[in-house]
Amino acid sequence: MLVGSERITPTRSKTVQLHIGIDDTDSRKGGCTTYIAARLVETIANLGTQFIDYPNIIRLNPNIPYKTRGNAAVALRVNVPIGTYDLVREEVLHEIEKNSELGRPGTDPAVVFVRGNPTSAIRRFSRRALWDVLHEDDAVRIIRSAGESALAYGTRLGLVGALAAVGQTLTGDHTFELVAYRTKSNCGTTRRVDEKSVKRMDRLTASKTFNNYDLENSRILITPHGPDPVLLGIRGETPSVLRKAFSIIRIYEPIERWVIFRTNHGTDAHFNAIPPSGPIEPDRPVILRGTVGDRPWRISGGHVFFTLHNQKGRWTCAAFEPTGNFRKTVANLIPGDRVTAYGAAKKNQTRQSLTINLEKIMIHRLVEKRQLENPRCPSCHKHMKSAGRDQSFRCRKCSITLPKSRKTLTTAARSVMLGLYVPALKAHRHLTKPLSRYGQEKTWDLRPPSGKWHNP
Ligand SMILES: [Zn+2]
């Protein structure tokens, strides 16, 4: 299905700026949108185009039920010689048709071509796509009114991500990811990446790369586990630290190609995009400041819950098992504590209410924890023993007895401190900002990448 029409703009310039957004070429069975982007980098560079940015991986609202967990789209931004514009478009379509999982259910690839800087309508759409659930008709309307063109295979669902990727030019905080791809014959086999070298790389590039290795569970985090063509992805603050990290890792299988992407990974972009006093609706990220209501409780499977309330309502917050030690923090909250919960609002099937799946928590205020204690013996000052339920207290050593009314109210130490808490690494979503990135946020003006950032 083709939407939009060709806009003929007379221009004196010999090149035209072109933004290409691609979404949803992958199914749950394999395939990978970034792989198509990586191939296209080479193909369209050979047509005389010049990249004005690294290829972008844009993660959108991670809570959309019908999308894969990552909800990723890619954008390529180039200056194209006027004469080769059609050729570039043809190459893009050819590459998508050749490498996406066309025909598989749930795979609805789409591509959007936008000439010149993305309009403010496109940028607004992109910002919303980070947190809201958008309809493909909205994407079609914006593409048409901007006079741009797009192509969707199957349903038009992929147009949302493709258009959103174009408009998300990452002028705010961003990170980089070096992605290396496997040869076709190796796809589906165990990835042969040396674990020790990954730990070494993690140590040597500390605080400039993130989510490399999970020490808590002794697990490599840079390699995915599916049959897709990605061998590994290293995330970090700059292209140069990624090249250094890549050179440290020992890999025992051929690498087909590698590319450095600029991305919103690890930036909390989904939380930052929520409008102030935005709606609290299912399948969207939420930020809720409030007071802990009920004492936290644990259910089988190790999940921990508590209730949070403020003037807008009352919610159940959940710290699931994979969040690891994060659950201990949550379990130590008590009624009256003041916190800000960051998470995903999900409809609770049984109770018809919303549960907030926690992605991080800020503890602002801790109330005093009061507890009743047995009295101390007036003679030896040790805690006395109760002689039984509703009985008096006794010190056997000193043979002293006190009435049961002598129980004392004391302040107990809290086993949690004020501050920000983030779940275990393995529970991080692509957009989750790891603790190591706080204070490293950056801005960026669109300018051509320099140095070596892709092969060959
Ligand atoms: Zn005593």
pLDDT in tens, 72-96: 899 999 999 988 999 999 999 998 8
What is the residue-averaged pLDDT of the chain? 89
> For residue 375, how far is its CA from the centre of ligand 1 (angstroms)?
11
CA 407 / ligand 1 centre spacing (Å):
16
Report H helices in 134-238.
136-145, 158-167, 195-204
Q: Which two tokens stand for residue 65?
A: 């039920």
CA of 391 to the centre of ligand 1 (A): 17
C-alpha to C-alpha distance for 3 and 156, rounded to whole angstroms:
10
How far does residue 413's CA lie from ligand 1's centre (Å)?
25
In 3D space, the residue among 354, 352, 268 whose CA is nearest the CA of residue 305 turns out to be 354
Categorize the per-residue pLDDT at 401 as very low, low, confident or very high, splitting at 50, 70 and 90: confident
**409 CA to centre of ligand 1 in angstroms:** 20
Whether the per-residue pLDDT at 336 is higher than 50: the answer is: yes
At position 89, the amino acid (one-letter code) is R
Q: Identify which has the larger pLDDT, 105 or 204.
A: 204
pTM over 0.85: yes
DSSP code for 353: E
Q: Which residue has the higher pLDDT, 365 or 148?
A: 365
Q: What's the whole-number mean pLDDT along residues 41-64?
A: 92
Report the pLDDT value the prediction gives residue 69, as an integer from 0 to 100: 61
Q: Give distance in angstroms: CA of 373 to centre of ligand 1.
A: 16
3-state secondary structure of 371: strand
Say if residue 374's pLDDT is above 80.
yes
The residue among 95 and 244 whose pLDDT is bigger is 244
Distance (Å) from CA 380 to ligand 1 centroid: 4
Cα of 327 vs centre of ligand 1, distance in Å, is: 40
How many angstroms is it from 412 CA to the middle of ligand 1?
23
Report the length, in residues, of the chain: 456
388 CA from centroid of ligand 1 (Å):
18
Distance, CA of 68 to CA of 212 (rounded, Å): 22
Kindly report, residue by residue over 262-292, the tens digit of the pLDDT.
999 999 999 999 998 777 899 999 999 999 9
pLDDT of residue 98: 84
Q: What is the pLDDT of residue 10?
A: 45
pLDDT over 70 (residue 212):
yes
The Å distance, Cα 383 to ligand 1 centre, comes to 8
What CA–CA distances, in Å, run from 103 to 39, 57, 97, 150?
21, 24, 11, 19
Of residues 7 and 219, more confidence is placed in: 219
Range from 108-122, 190-204, 248-262 carrying the lowest mean pLDDT: 108-122
Strand partners, 305: 297, 318
For tokens 């092969």, name the residue. Answer: 455
Q: How far apart are CA 290 and CA 308, in angstroms?
A: 6
pLDDT for the residue 437 = 95
Measured in angstroms, how far is the CA atom of residue 396 from the centroid of ligand 1? 7
Question: Average pLDDT of 219-236?
Answer: 92
What CA–CA distance (Å, rounded) separates 353 from 306?
14
pLDDT band at residue 199 using 50, 70 and 90 as cut-offs: very high
Q: Is the pLDDT of residue 341 over 80?
A: yes
The rounded Å distance from CA 187 to ligand 1 centre is 73
Distance 382 CA to ligand 1 centre (A): 6
395 CA → ligand 1 middle, Å: 5
Predicted pLDDT at 65: 80
Percent of the chain having pLDDT more than 70? 92
Query: Which residues share a beta bridge with 291?
Result: 309, 338
357: pLDDT strictly greater than 50: yes
How many angstroms does the Cα of residue 387 sit away from the middle of ligand 1?
A: 14
Where would I find the beta strands (DSSP E) of 104-198?
Answer: 110-115, 149-152, 175-182
Ligand 1 centre to CA of 402 (Å) is 11
Distance CA 324, CA 307 (A): 20
Question: Is 162 within 8 Å of 110 (Cβ atoms)?
Answer: yes
- Measured CA angle at 255 (ends 426, 437), to 5 deg: 35
User: In the structure, what pLDDT confidence band is assigned to residue 1 with cuts at 50, 70 and 90?
Assistant: very low
Among residues 317, 324, 321, 322, the alpha carbon closest in space to that of 361 is found at 317
Exposed / middle / buried, residue 430 (Cβ in 10 Å: 0-12, 13-18, 19+) = buried
